[in-house]
Structure 1
């Protein structure tokens, strides 16, 4: 009985270690409850915008509690997660309203894990599908290069709406 308990504990510890490694290998796991986080701001990108083809729609930006610290100080601590929720628009009775999800982009701050990209990991989930978010190293680098334009705000474009 004692041997079985030791074997069971060893298996559980081993499985837990593999689970932790799997989590660390994920660039940024899909944050399922992000719409319950703090709403940072919204933007409407309309047909007059040069970015409309790829960015057109309603954008909502959400931040977890750690990221809220970064919005206050300009330096985002490890564990910060920012979600960019991009929705199509549709017209209903003269009103522009949210349509289907175009994509959900995620930034996660883990300085040690993402040294090459200023401490940030990036993912993009087409149509909001949690199974399709991994970006290639090239796309990660492209995201980081663009976000580096905001090195005065730790690579984060959005400002918390006050």
Structure 2
């Protein structure tokens, strides 16, 4: 299994920066908490990033997006309240017998809304847990700024990419 590192996450985010350069330096942000029980939350959507996509090297696989109740209010209103948590669950995509199935968890990405704690990144804290292990934090402060740089063009949607389906 490919191990996720800060360098891999930064490398995948940097091409997305393009003309959007972030000059904010983060102070030691409070840790984004591990989201216990997130698989019981609302499933927002799923997608697969396949070979040929610009983010395949770092984010290739099956993606599931989950949202807690506060995040669901944000999806519906367009403004996410403090306490909203969005999960990006990335799993290996295993191809066999003309089917794509879930393999090992690569990383569990978390966006946690707290306007005061994470003021320098649009009110969102970012973290990734390698293999879904709560003790294996792979983002940290410097990479969080890279996460935010990728999300910054989504300011009109409170820095989120995903949307609820009709």
Per the TM superposition, whether the score is higher than 0.5 is yes
Q: In the aligned structure 1, how far is the partner of 2:30 from the partner of 2:103?
A: 29
* CA-based RMSD: 1.3
Structure with a larger share of its residues in helix: 1
SS at structure 2 position matched to 1:158: coil
Per-residue deviation, 1:134: 5.8
* Counterpart position of 2:73: 69
Q: How do 1:88-107 residues align onto structure 2 when only pairs under 5 Å count?
A: 88-107=92-111
* Counterpart position of 2:37: 33
Change (3 A) 1:56 1:72: same
Change (3 A) 1:103 1:134: closer
Looking at CA atoms only, which structure, 1 or 2, has the larger radius of gyration? Answer: 1
Per-residue deviation, 1:83: 0.2
Q: In the aligned structure 1, how far is the partner of 2:44 from the partner of 2:111?
A: 14
> Deviations for 1:16-58, whole angstroms, at most 9, x for unmatched residues?
xxxxxxxxx7422111211110000001111131221111100
- TM-score, scaled to structure 2: 0.79
SS at structure 2 position matched to 1:128: coil
1:27–1:134 CA contact under 8 A, matched in 2: no
Q: In the aligned structure 1, how far is the partner of 2:87 from the partner of 2:77?
A: 19
- TM-score, scaled to structure 1: 0.81
Q: In the aligned structure 1, how far is the partner of 2:110 from the partner of 2:146?
A: 14
Residue 52 of structure 1 pairs with residue 56 of structure 2: yes
Gaps of 5+ in 1: 1-24
Gaps of 5+ in 2: 1-28
Which is bigger in relative contact order (C-alpha 8 A, separation at least 6)?
2
The aligned length equals 138
